[in-house]
Structure formats: structure tokens, C-alpha cells
Structure 1
């Protein structure tokens, strides 16, 4: 038998691959039985794990979640136990609400709050930092960059996850190997948003295979797929497991043929373990327990019916007792001698475990490389994004023309100073609402991708945050500049470079501060709550801006609000740009008498000074830094809070 050009020698149900000059000996268990065929010769990735396999054991695992304020809590997992063997495709099954996804979250380390019990790696307590380096978690919803092609997604992921000393050709070989084996190579130039459900699922797996993890957790990988795509995904997982990986999936209710593709099954009901063992031993187990599976009935369907309590709650208690809530290992493969914890510690001493943890997955690449790759990805997405880029520029053009047309020649006419004041406040509202609401509406979708990529150690949160700040800056500058030129010239504001520069600086600062405010809201809340809270929290900013109610008319007990309102500094900055710098008296062509012909009269009326521009810039700078910092902290909190 041949595999990738190397001779295979079978001995004692173990397949040995002879050593070559470039790799260590790879060992994989032979799988017997007509329904458990080994992938055909030549199948599987060329980059097989070269380090020790991982045996996972968990004991007395509990998980309690909070139901909300004053609603108490609910225990999801009730002291379950289990064993996840390497080179086996393990399915966690159970009805809805049984705790499948919760158990997978706990085992993968995605959920850490409200969790009890112990998890062991090769006989020793799990160290989360090291465990995450050798594992990955592929969640149920395919969180992909839809604007990027399959090839772009893969190359950018390779630049983030593979050592920087590999050149693009070496990375290309890795990507070609993965995409060829996953049936995605012919879709290299297809955007993620145009892939089918099965292709998206396989791409999600392909992205995590780049750094060759030893352990893979997949939450409902077959959900939403047709039978053919389900079979392809499960066969792929089976092939990956046979190469030495530990792969665990949650499955809701597989067909009989799909169920037969799994090596082991772990059945949950209401947070208790009803069975763990091989799929072919499930029927004998049920028969011995006194609840035999009817002839010609899908065992997977039947055990789910039992777990739902359709045959009585006593059957659940019976099976939980027989399985010892997951402690019983009697129904594993007979030929598979299961080592004890002590045996695992002898087989894998601390030195071997340290080597495993340090080399099972590649370290995050340097921060500078992460920022470079993320910035490149950000600009590529921005170029193709019709909302964040194209529509944003178009809106600024349209609104600029509308406001300019409505207030033509208002900037130079002494009888229209109040109108011009209204224009400046309208400009301020545009620069506040548009970027803030756009960020609130779009960032939660990006948040889900960030959560997945950050958890799987693609990059640090700091690198991501810096990259989105840098990527958005040119778009903000261009759109703000286009708007400023249009509205400034059409409304006949004073055409001097200094005044326009001041006007543009205040406009850009207001946009950046509003974006930061929107990012802070978008990071902490979902779209529904964010779209409500964003405008609501902006109302006090408008109240204390000095428009309508002048700053001197504010009650003393409310005056403090003017110091935290960035709109106050924006409006004051506009007034300084247009009417400050000792501006000469205005023209009075449209009225017999112009009360505000002298700008000083108007400044005195609205209680604003003409020499506070740089103080306004300083205040906006501080506001920008504070809000950006708060947004980062909220983002960091949200990433940990969901766990």
C-alpha cells in the first residue's frame, strides 16, 4: 500500500510510515470495519502532524450560565466526564438544549466563566495558554471575509499564521495542498460571499488548517448543508483525524449513513452523558441497557428520541447511570487499549509535553507583521466595500451639495449670519451622525469575525485595533475633504487657506471622534441596542453644544456638561474658523440693516470667544484619545464577556 509516495507497513493494527529526510515517523491507527474505511491512498494533507497525538480527558465538568439581571442562573452541564481519543472522529450528539455546544465551548476553552471540573491533556492538567496554541475552534456560523476571494483569504491567513521566514512560494505550496484536498482549488478566485454553504464550511476548516493544529473543535459543521455537502465535510474531518489529529464535532441528528462515518459518539441529554463509545457499539449498548433499538431504525434517531424523553424520563436516568455520566469506557473499540492517566504521564513526560505545547501550533507572528497584513486586508476590503467606502463618499457629495444649495452665499452676507450659524450646526450634525451610525451598524458584523480570529490566535487585539484605525483614516480624510470643499465654496465662506484649514481640521476631528463614539457603542452592544443608544447618548452632546441655549444661559448645575460635549468644541471651532481671526465686517447686500455685520457682535451674542481655536483642537484631541481608549477597553471586555 502506498501513501504520498512512501511505503506503508502494517503491523498489529498500526500503520507505520517509514521515516524520510524531511519528516519524523508518522503513526496512525488502522480503522477496521466496512463503514470505517481509511481514506484512499494519496488522500489527506501532505503536512501531517509530526508530534505526539493528544488524548483529552475531562472529569466532573459543570457549566452554569446567568439568565439575566434578577433572573438567576441555570446549570447546563451536570458533572459530565469523558475521553476524547486521538485519530478518532468524535461526535457529540443530543437534542436541542442538551448542552452540546456548551460542552464544546468548555472543551475548546471558548467558555471559561461559570465552568467547573478538570480537563487533562495527555494525563496532565490543561494549561489554557499552551492548549490554545495546539487547537482551533470552528464555530457553527461561517465567519468569513465575504469581500475577499478564497485565495486572498488563504494567503492573508498564511501571512498571519505561518512563520515570516517562509517565502510566498512555500506558503503557496501549503495553501495549494490544503485547497486541493478540500476541493476548493478551482474556487481560488471566488469571493467568500459567493460560495455555497458546504464550500464556506470547508473554507472555514481550510483557514484553520494553515498552521496545522493537533486538535480541532467544530460546532455543528453539517447544519444548513444538503446531504452531499454533509458527507463531504464529515469525510474531510475523518480524513484529518486519521492523520493524527483529535477532532470533535457537535451533530444534531445525523442520517444513518452520516452517523456511520463517525468513529466515536458522545450522547448528551439535559447536561448528562447517556453514552460514550464507538458508533457501532451504540446498538449493543442500548440492548444491554434494556432499551433496544428497533430493527431498521436509525440508531442516531433512536438515541435522540431517548434523550428527548419520548420514552420516559426514567430511560434517561437509566442510561446516565449505566454510562456513569461519562466515566464508563467499556464501549470503546475492543482492540483500542485505553491508557490510564498514569500511563499517559509515563508515555508523555513533562519534557515531551513541553515540546508538544511549544511546537504544536505556530506562535503568533510579530506584531509588526500582524499590523502590516491586517492593514493590507483592510484596504483590500475597503476598496470593494460598497457601504463603508463608495456609499460613504457618495453620501458626503450629495449632502454637501444639498446643504450648499440651501445656504448659497450665506457665509459672506451680514443679514444671513444666523442662517450660516444654522448651517455650521447642520454640518456638525452630519459629521456626527453619519460616521457614528455607520460604525454602529457595521461593526457588530465585524465583531463576530474578530471573535473567531482572535480566539484562534491569528493576531493580537492591539494589532487589529491599530489596523482598523489606520485603514479608516484615508477614507475619512477623503470623504471629509470632498464634503468640506463642496459646502464651503457653495455657501461662500471666506476663501482663505487659513480659515478653510481650520474648518477642515474641526470637521475631520468631529468625524474621528464620532467614529470613536460609534465604535465604543458598536463594540459593547448589538445592532438593535446600538442604533437606539447611539442617537440617545448623542442628545446630551447636542444640548451642551451651545446651540439654541448659549453656554452662559446654562444652569450652573448643568454647565459641567459643556466640558464633556465634543460638539461644543466642534461648534466653537467652526465659529472661530469662520468669524474669528479679527474678520472684517461682512457685506450687507440683501437687507437694509445687518445687525450682525460686525462678527464681534455675533460672537458676543452667542457667548463664544474668537481666540479659543487651539483649545478646541486640544479638547477634541483629548476626546478622541479617551473615546478610542474606551472603545478598545470595551472591545477587550466584550471578547472576554462572551466567554
Structure 2
């Protein structure tokens, strides 16, 4: 445990997060919404649109813990997503921040959204995870010692001292949930949204989680969470509950006001039932109860709040744009800065994190090593000694195909199977504005190149020598370089598929694409120049074709007559084979350049696919407007 971290004590309880409030002071924020409506396209509903929110109203105040409750399908997560800015397309109504219309560009810098899955970066300790978050989310001008102090304060607040040096994969469910909250607290967000924070936790962990959120709200944070049905013993811990059913608000106010509210609507809560359980049972058992209760609450406009004491650290709210200054204390408005750190700072931090995770993933490194070793020995053994025998020249050509197939499948399937898991982790960090997508993707691209190069060269040298190819440095150089470039292009294709699909769908799509790439790569071999013109255009879309031509050219071009064990070998002059295969006059350097074009194209496509997937707002807008256009044409 970090010796600088001290147990809970009077000094901490009296001045919570003193360091964080000093270097990253944020304004308290109230969020208010009125007549909020949201619909999605649904062909099974009359009119083609299904309304998920139906003119709901409410205000969630700073310094309070608010729970959005209701049965499944009530609209809880939909409301939370809209208030957090995760969804804006198709939303109607008003959302105000401290009485002013919400500015999304500024709002996203002042809020954090903790999603239901408590995913954290693997193979990092709690200390390392927190320092990465602090380095990314706090300005570069803030000293390292101050960042350490902030991390220590947050760790103490969330009770994670005992697992400070524990790897994240060894944390319990409750500890992981607290860590996800801690990671978002390091930049002092005044609004925190949590989607089902108690899901999957036992009763003790649920109690700790609710108490933690209550503690955080008392630091002038607006804490809003969705929860299905809280335990009866914890229901009173919430300052405000907002109960939803079928897109309506059926109660809005303090927990202590719920029983009198239901009584006023002639829904007497039995002594054997808890108020939270009973109101959900009411709206589930009879749809008419929903209409009765939402009329009594005026769809959220009537806020039955218990009078609360004044906040300890504030007595008024401010206009955010006027008082919010950059954490560097330079006087620069935060509205002029997209991220707290620069592109290169983000890139270096992310590259360092990925490098540390890669080095610690020993299992993956061992698998990669033995995969390349065994594949090199296997392919080299199959074509053992064929490289310097004219009667085996067709075998050498098959060897070139095997080399390209190895590089293609090896480096496509890895990101297809692994990258979707990374995308889930990325979603939380990117939406909460830890970093821009460009430095992240650049770091992902670079961190995997050393492993690809070392493994690829290791494989190429083993198979090259075992298969008896000419011991000439230039031939080995181009043979390896073209193969590695095929691997890089394949990796880019794998990232494109992994960024577009989940693991299940990607594992189905990838083999189909690779089969097509391979078929086009070998099409017309042996036709000389007899390939149809339109097919020449089509096969040019297969980078496998250029890889095959490049590796064959590196072995056969400008080569003296190959020894022949028999009396006659038609292909003693390898240039004849190249001509018969329609590859005459080609140079490996040209093929390398063509493959590099595919390498760049696939990386760009992967980036665009990732950006589309991360930017749910863009995806929602496209779907919303496309559906709207279709519906208008139908009418």
C-alpha cells in the first residue's frame, strides 16, 4: 500500500478532496428537463414510431443522490442516456443546466457517465490505473506530486487503500465498481451518471455502493443513477427517487413522501410491502394505475421534496461558462480546450499503458512465439530443400502461397477476436473525454508493430532456410519485407472487422472475406496473359495477389539456371515460370508499394469504423434521419 495514504481520519472527513477541489474546481450543477420526449422507429407500432419517453419533467439537484427507478422497459436507461448526452437524435423537449439551455460541447466536459459494465483496463494495478486517468484527465501543467495527491484522496474516499497495488483482474465485484467510479472522479466532474451501479453485486456490496454514491453527492456532486428495485433498507438513503413506468413519471420526490403520495391516489401501501416494491407492483399489475399516478405527479412536474439543509460548500449556482476556468489556473476558458492534454501527451500516455499491458500479457507473448516457431518449422519442413531444385519449382510456388496465407490469417484473426473486447473498454474512456480517438488509434497501431515484425522475421527466416531458398541477402530481405507488409495489411483488415462487428459476427465475417481475398489472389495463375480485362481489375482488389507476386518475384527474379536432377526440367530458367504464371517483369518493390496502399486504406477504414461505433450520437442520427425519410416516403 502507498505509505502516503493514511486511513480515514478527522482531517479527511472535514476537508474531503481538498487537493482535487484546489486544482480542478468545478461549479455545482443542477440539471432540469421538461416535456422530454423520445421515439424510436418500430414497424410493429401504428405510425412506425414507438415513444419511449412521454413528456416527462424533473429537476435533479447538486449535492443530492437521485435514483431513477421503475420496472424493465420503463424508460430508465433511456432517460439517463438522454440526460448524459449519450443520445440526442430524436429527442424533443428542454434540458437546462443551472437554468440555461444545455451546451453539449461544454456539458460533456463537466459530466461523467459510468456504464453498467464495470470494465477496467486489465494487467494494471489500481495505482497505475488511477495515475493513467489523472495524467489524461488533468492538465499537463499540473505537477506529478499534485496528481499523486489527488489520486490518494480519491482512493481514500472510495476505500480502495488495501488494494492499491492489486491488479484490476484480481479485484472483487464491489472493488471493481468502486474503481470505475474512482477513475471518473480524478477530474472532479460535478455531474455523475451511473447505469445500474448495483447490478451483479451482493447485498453487502450494494450497501457499500449506495453509501459511496451518497458520500460523493455530499461533495456538491449531482449523482444520478438508474436502479431497478433497491433493497428496502437502502431506499431511504436516496435524496430523491424518480419512478418511471411505460415512459411516464409516476412519482418524483423524496422517499419519505412516496407513501403519502400513493395514499392520495387511493393506492394504499400494505404494511407488509415496502413502498418501492409496491409502486412497481402497481404499475406492472394494471396499466390504468400508470395513468392515475402520472396524473397525480403531473408527469414529474410535481416534485414532492423533503426540505433539505443548505449545502455545506455552496449557497448558490453559477453560470458555468462565466466561472469555469482551465485547471492550469492560467485564466484560459475551458471552452477553448477540447481535451486537458495535447495529442502527443495522450499518445505517449496511451502507448506507455499499452506497452505495459503487452509486456505483462505473458500468455499472449508465449502463444505468439510458439505459433511463429511451429509454423516456420512446419511450413519449412513441408517444403524442405525444394528451393534449389528445378523439378520442385511448383512446390516453391506453393510455398509462396503458404507464406502469404500464414501472414494473412495470423494477423487478421487476432484483432477480429481481441479488438472487440478493447472497444468495450474504449467506449467508456472515449465518451468521458479521457482522450481523442486519433492518438488512441495511433498508439494501437504502433504497439503491435514490434511483435508483428519480430514474429514475422523469425518465421520467415526459419521457413526460408529450411525450404532451401538461395542464400542471398537481397532475396531474403524482399521475401521478408513483402510478407511482413501482407501481415500489416491483414492486421488493418482485422481491425476494420473488429471495430465494426462483435466477436461472434466478426468471426463469421472474417473467414468469408479472407476466402474471397485468397480466391482472387490465385485466380488466373498459369493463364499467362490470358486473364480477362475485367478480372484484372477485380483481382487488383486483393492485396494477397500482390503479396504472392512479390514473394515469388523475390525468389525467382534475376536468378541463374536452377540445378536439375533429371535430364530435362522445363523451368530451369525461373523467368519462364514467372511468365507462365502471368507475373513476368514484376518487381518485389512495386508489389510492396501496392500492398502498402492497402495497409493505409485498411487503417483508415478501421479508424472510421471505430469512430462511427464510438460516436453513438452520429450512429443514432443517421438511423433516425434515414428512418424518418423512409417513413415520409411511405406516407
Structure 1 length as normaliser, TM-score? 0.88
* Count of residues in correspondence between the two structures: 597
Q: Give the corresponding residue for 2:633.
A: none
Whole-angstrom distance in 1 between the partners of 2:400 and 2:465 = 13
- Would you say 1:603 and 2:578 are equivalent positions? yes
- Would you say 1:261 and 2:260 are equivalent positions? no
Q: Give the corresponding residue for 1:567.
A: 544
CA gap of 1:267–1:363, structure 2 versus 1, over 3 A, is: same
Whole-angstrom distance in 2 between the partners of 1:347 and 1:147 = 42
Q: Give the corresponding residue for 1:477.
A: 453
Q: Give the corresponding residue for 2:330.
A: none
Q: Secondary structure at the match of 1:60?
A: strand
Whole-angstrom distance in 2 between the partners of 1:56 and 1:356 = 22
Q: Give the corresponding residue for 2:300.
A: 326
Asked if the contact 2:27–2:320 (Cα under 8 Å) also holds between the matched residues in 1, the reply is no
Q: Give the corresponding residue for 2:322.
A: 352
CA gap of 1:530–1:73, structure 2 versus 1, over 3 A, is: farther
Q: Give the corresponding residue for 2:625.
A: none
- Would you say 1:588 and 2:564 are equivalent positions? yes
- Stretch of structure 1 that moved more, 462-471 or 542-551: 542-551
Q: Secondary structure at the match of 2:224?
A: strand
Q: Give the corresponding residue for 1:238.
A: 214
- Would you say 1:175 and 2:145 are equivalent positions? no
- Would you say 1:511 and 2:481 are equivalent positions? no
Q: Secondary structure at the match of 1:268?
A: strand
**Cα drift, residue 153 of structure 1:** 0.8
Q: Give the corresponding residue for 1:640.
A: 615
Asked if the contact 2:456–2:484 (Cα under 8 Å) also holds between the matched residues in 1, the reply is yes
Whole-angstrom distance in 2 between the partners of 1:99 and 1:465 = 34
After superposition, the C-alpha distances for 1:487-518 in whole angstroms (9 at most, x for unaligned) are 11111111111011101110110000001011
Asked if the contact 2:39–2:90 (Cα under 8 Å) also holds between the matched residues in 1, the reply is yes
Whole-angstrom distance in 2 between the partners of 1:506 and 1:445 = 30
CA gap of 1:50–1:569, structure 2 versus 1, over 3 A, is: closer
**Cα drift, residue 66 of structure 1:** 3.9
**Cα drift, residue 165 of structure 1:** 2.2
5 Å-filtered alignment, 1:70-219, equals 73-219=49-195
Q: Compute the RMSD of aligned alpha carbons.
A: 2.5
Whole-angstrom distance in 2 between the partners of 1:425 and 1:269 = 61
Q: Secondary structure at the match of 1:483?
A: helix
Which of 576, 585, 594 is 1:619 aligned to? 594
Q: Give the corresponding residue for 1:629.
A: 604
Q: Secondary structure at the match of 2:536?
A: coil
Which of 385, 389, 393 is 1:417 aligned to? 393
Which of 383, 405, 411 is 1:435 aligned to? 411
Asked if the contact 1:138–1:205 (Cα under 8 Å) also holds between the matched residues in 2, the reply is yes
Q: Secondary structure at the match of 2:193?
A: strand
- Would you say 1:460 and 2:411 are equivalent positions? no
Q: Give the corresponding residue for 1:9.
A: none
- Stretch of structure 1 that moved more, 418-427 or 67-76: 67-76
CA gap of 1:546–1:553, structure 2 versus 1, over 3 A, is: farther
Q: Runs of 5+ in structure 2 lacking a partner?
A: 1-7, 328-332, 621-635
CA gap of 1:351–1:149, structure 2 versus 1, over 3 A, is: closer
Q: Secondary structure at the match of 1:560?
A: helix
Whole-angstrom distance in 2 between the partners of 1:155 and 1:297 = 46
Greater fraction helix = 2
After superposition, the C-alpha distances for 1:65-91 in whole angstroms (9 at most, x for unaligned) are 345999955322122111101101000
Q: Which runs of structure 1 show a deviation greater than 6 angstroms over 4 or more consecutive aligned residues?
A: 3-6, 68-71
Structure 2 length as normaliser, TM-score? 0.89
Q: Runs of 5+ in structure 1 lacking a partner?
A: 7-39, 339-343
Whole-angstrom distance in 1 between the partners of 2:586 and 2:534 = 26
**Cα drift, residue 326 of structure 1:** 1.1
Whole-angstrom distance in 2 between the partners of 1:372 and 1:550 = 50
- Would you say 1:531 and 2:501 are equivalent positions? no
Whole-angstrom distance in 2 between the partners of 1:569 and 1:388 = 30
CA gap of 1:424–1:393, structure 2 versus 1, over 3 A, is: same
